[in-house]
């Protein structure tokens, strides 16, 4: 049982009248993973999540959660997931504890277990001080936490969160991310977002979606490695520009370089190595030898943002051709 | 069953945590009270040889309450959840579609029954003050309430059906009002179509809500009518169930 992957999706397609929201999606998510769905608005993230949570049927293809088909064994699937939809809808006329109790009962928890679990998730999500408040009067951050607590209350194997940090202030975002991170290992988590640092910070693995298709699926580190394959080094050096040029031309490890003037005496040099070697020790050596001033020396790592922009752009170019 | 009761409790508490619930209760209490005063006035003038429930029914407020209160009671059941998106969180928990439909119907039915309680109070007041002179029959009283509940059941299931069709509570209310008034007006077809013996007249008699209710308030419990209301109620609940299920159709 435990070796069946948590999510198995194969050639999943969802067509609405006139357009295809999800187009032949296939991926697998193992138990205990935190996977991020990344994509621009309308990429098919929410639709995929709705299919996985057995809310919408797929047009074709199959999706399994913990070995159960989302369409045929929908109740079994729903027993195993905690789903927080986009915009986090709640009953605004209920009180926090009352709502969580109601949801726990709906998800089949017995009375005593329900009481315990509600207390635990309220503690976990920092809701203890608002337990008697009416949900409609809570701030956005608290509402979001109520939604999260609801998704967690029955200890589901799979937690699906559709844009969990949207509309929160930076502090709240940080605490929500911390919470999501702490869920890994014990639960499988699938979160969707279009905020890139979020995926970088919380997820083990990213699936980049664009126009209903997967563009890339890898760990965040691997994706970055792919992108900084060139091993470009950026150095900010105070030296005469002519000397810098002459120096980089003389170094055989540097394939090509780019010098731009920043403030004062400093120049920004972007150096690309010939065969993927790390240029940093060499650059430092040279700078020391010549007695130049050095204030920054880094290996330029592309953020997911670059990867994302790069990938969606190449995709568009291919389509254009 | 546990889940069903949880759902019914939630739905019922929804009526009492919003203003609509209290507005409906106030409106019905007002209308019932008005018809009670009309009835009292009539009773002080001359003697009537019919049950008090029949007298009450002959005031115009009865249909007013039924036709207006029913859409307002049921309009929120599905439309509100569809609009706010809570429908999605509700349907992704391990609850059955039929369970949801029945829970919504049951809670609106319970609310409907509660809303009619002032009528009982009026009749008991009447009974208390006229102990000797005008004995009140328990029979017609019971059949009147059975009639109200049967009609209410039909209107509630109609309302739930209308509400499941749309995201807007206003449209849901208008739809169920339209359904309800159409059913009600069918009673008057027999006035327009000249009565000549035949199956048409027989059919019109069978589907006339006014005729049915007239029988109930007189203390007549006709099984044909009971079956008529129960089957129509079940039919509309079935339709609602199918609408809820249709989301999962490919």
User: Do the Cβ atoms of B143 and B219 come closer than 8 Å?
Assistant: yes
DSSP state of B1: -
Residues of A in CB contact (< 8 Å) with B are 50, 53-59, 71, 74-76, 78-79, 81, 83-85, 87, 89-94, 102-103, 105-108, 150
| Residue B132 reports pLDDT greater than 80 | no
Mean pLDDT of all residues in A69-96? 92
Binary contact (A74, B247; C-beta < 8 A):
no
Taking CB atoms within 8 Å and a gap of at least 24, the contacts of B14-19 are B14/A91, B14/A93, B14/B76, B14/B107, B15/B73, B15/B107, B15/B111, B17/A93, B17/A94, B18/A93, B18/B76
Residues of A in contact with B249 (CB under 8 A): 57
pLDDT score recorded for residue B92: 92
The shortest CB-CB distance from A85 to any of B6, B18, B85 is to B85
Residues of A in contact with B246 (CB under 8 A): none
Q: Where is B124: in which H helix or E strand? A: helix B117-129
| Residue B126 reports pLDDT greater than 70 | yes
Which residues of B, range 77-116, sit inside 8 Å of A by Cβ? 84-96
| Residue A48 reports pLDDT greater than 90 | yes
Query: Which two structure tokens, joined as six digits, stand for A178?
Result: 């911390």
B39 vs A154, more confident: A154
pLDDT score recorded for residue A232: 78
| Residue A210 reports pLDDT greater than 70 | yes
The shortest CB-CB distance from A89 to any of B85, B93, B248 is to B85
Q: ipTM of this complex > 0.90?
A: no
Binary contact (B248, A71; C-beta < 8 A):
yes
Which residue, A197, A204, A243, is CA-closest to A220?
A204
- Residues in a beta bridge with A83: A160
Sheet holding A60-65, edge to edge: A19-29, A7-16, A60-65, A68-69
Phi first, then psi: give them for residue A221, nearest 5 degrees: -65, -45
HSE, side-chain direction, 13 A CA sphere, residue B105: 27
User: Do the Cβ atoms of A151 and A84 come closer than 8 Å?
Assistant: yes
User: Do the Cβ atoms of A138 and A130 come closer than 8 Å?
Assistant: yes
The shortest CB-CB distance from A89 to any of B7, B10, B88 is to B88
Q: Does B1 touch chain A (CB under 8 A)?
A: no
| Residue A319 reports pLDDT greater than 70 | no
pLDDT tens figures, A283-309:
888 888 888 888 888 877 666 667 777
**What confidence category does residue A317 fall into, taking pLDDT thresholds of 50, 70 and 90?**
low
Model pTM score: 0.85
Mean pLDDT of all residues in A255-278? 81
Which residue, B11, B210, B32, is CA-closest to B106?
B11
B103 vs A272, more confident: B103
Mean pLDDT of all residues in B234-246? 95
Please work out, in degrees rounded to the nearest 5, the angle formed at the alpha carbon of residue A311 by the alpha carbons of A308 and A317: 135
Which residue, B84, B231, B66, is CA-closest to B151?
B66
Mean pLDDT of all residues in B184-196? 77
**What confidence category does residue A126 fall into, taking pLDDT thresholds of 50, 70 and 90?**
confident
Q: How close B4 comes to chain A (CA, Å)? A: 8
- Three-state secondary structure string covering B30-67: HHHHHHHHHHHHHHHHCCCCCCHHHHHHHCCHHHHHHH
Which residue, B65, B74, B58, is CA-closest to B161?
B74
Mean pLDDT of all residues in B74-94? 93
Binary contact (A50, B88; C-beta < 8 A):
yes
pLDDT score recorded for residue B26: 93
d(CA B21, CA B30): 14
pLDDT tens figures, A85-104:
988 999 999 999 999 999 99
**What confidence category does residue B121 fall into, taking pLDDT thresholds of 50, 70 and 90?**
confident
Largest CA distance in chain B: 68
pLDDT over 90, % of chain A: 34
Mean pLDDT of all residues in A150-176? 88
pLDDT tens figures, B19-34:
889 999 999 999 888 8
Question: In this structure, are strands A34-38 and A205-210 parallel, antiparallel, or unpaired?
Answer: parallel
- Would you call B207 helix, strand, or coil by DSSP? coil
pLDDT score recorded for residue A1: 47
pLDDT over 90, % of chain B: 47
Query: Which two structure tokens, joined as six digits, stand for A133?
Result: 């408040």
User: Do the Cβ atoms of A140 and A168 come closer than 8 Å?
Assistant: yes
Q: What residues have CB less than 8 Å from B144, skipping those under 6 apart?
A: B53, B56, B57, B216, B217
| Residue of chain A nearest B4, judged by CA positions | A106
| Residue of chain B nearest A57, judged by CA positions | B248
Binary contact (B7, A106; C-beta < 8 A):
yes
Q: How close B1 comes to chain A (CA, Å)? A: 11
Average of per-residue pLDDT values in chain A: 85
Average of per-residue pLDDT values in chain B: 87
Residues of A in contact with B17 (CB under 8 A): 93-94
pLDDT score recorded for residue B97: 92
Q: What residues have CB less than 8 Å from B29, skipping those under 6 apart?
A: B118
């Amino acid at each position: 049982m435990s070796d069946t992957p948590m999510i198995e999706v194969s050639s999943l397609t969802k067509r609405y009248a006139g357009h295809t929201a999800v187009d032949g999606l296939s991926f697998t998510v193992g138990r205990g993973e935190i996977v991020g769905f990344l994509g621009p608005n309308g990429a098919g993230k929410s639709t995929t999540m709705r299919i996985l949570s057995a809310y919408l049927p797929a047009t074709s293809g199959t999706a399994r959660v913990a070995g159960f088909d989302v369409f045929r064994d929908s109740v079994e699937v729903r027993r195993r997931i905690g789903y927080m939809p986009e915009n986090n809808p709640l009953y605004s006329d209920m009180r926090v504890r009352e709502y969580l109790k109601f949801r726990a009962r709906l998800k089949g928890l017995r009375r005593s277990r329900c009481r315990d679990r509600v207390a635990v998730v309220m503690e976990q999500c920092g809701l203890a001080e608002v337990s008697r408040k009416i949900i409609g009067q809570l701030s956005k951050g608290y509402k979001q936490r109520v939604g999260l607590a609801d998704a967690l209350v029955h200890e589901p194997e799979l937690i699906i969160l559709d844009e969990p940090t949207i509309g929160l202030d930076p502090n709240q975002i940080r605490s929500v991310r911390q919470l999501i991170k702490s869920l890994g290992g014990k639960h499988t988590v699938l979160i969707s977002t279009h905020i890139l640092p979020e995926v970088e910070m919380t997820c083990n693995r990213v699936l980049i979606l664009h126009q209903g298709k997967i563009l890339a699926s890898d760990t965040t580190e691997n994706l970055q490695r792919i992108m900084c394959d060139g091993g470009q080094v950026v150095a900010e050096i105070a030296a005469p520009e002519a000397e810098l040029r002459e120096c980089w031309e003389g170094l055989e490890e540097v394939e090509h370089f780019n010098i731009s003037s920043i403030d004062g005496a400093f120049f920004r040099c972007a150096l690309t190595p010939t065969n993927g070697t790390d240029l940093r020790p060499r650059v430092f050596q040279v700078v020391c030898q010549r007695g130049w001033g050095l204030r920054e020396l880094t290996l330029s790592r592309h953020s997911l943002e670059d990867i994302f922009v790069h990938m969606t752009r190449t995709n568009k170019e291919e389509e254009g051709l | 069953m546990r889940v069903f009761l949880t759902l019914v409790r939630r739905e019922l508490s929804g009526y009492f945590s919003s203003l609509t619930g209290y507005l409906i209760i106030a409106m019905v209490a007002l209308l019932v009270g008005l018809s009670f005063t009309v009835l009292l006035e009539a009773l002080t003038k001359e003697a009537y040889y019919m049950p008090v429930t029949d007298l009450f029914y002959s005031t115009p407020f009865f249909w007013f309450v039924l036709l207006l209160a029913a859409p307002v009671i049921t309009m929120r059941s599905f439309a509100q959840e569809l609009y706010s998106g809570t429908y999605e969180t509700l349907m992704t928990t391990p609850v059955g579609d039929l369970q949801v439909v029945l829970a919504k119907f049951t809670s609106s039915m319970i609310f409907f029954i509660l809303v009619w309680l002032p009528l009982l109070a009026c009749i008991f007041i009447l009974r208390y003050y006229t102990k000797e002179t005008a004995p009140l029959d328990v029979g017609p009283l019971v059949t009147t309430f059975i009639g109200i509940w049967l009609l209410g059941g039909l209107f509630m299931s109609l309302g739930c059906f209308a509400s499941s069709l749309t995201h807007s509570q206003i449209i849901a209310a208008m739809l169920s009002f339209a359904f309800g008034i159409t059913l009600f007006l069918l009673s008057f077809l027999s006035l327009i179509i000249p009565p000549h013996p035949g199956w048409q007249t027989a059919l019109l008699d069978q589907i006339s809500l006014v005729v049915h209710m007239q029988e109930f308030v007189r203390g007549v419990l006709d099984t044909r009518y009971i079956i008529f209301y129960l089957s129509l109620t079940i039919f509309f609940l079935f339709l609602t169930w199918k609408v809820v299920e249709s989301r999962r159709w490919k």
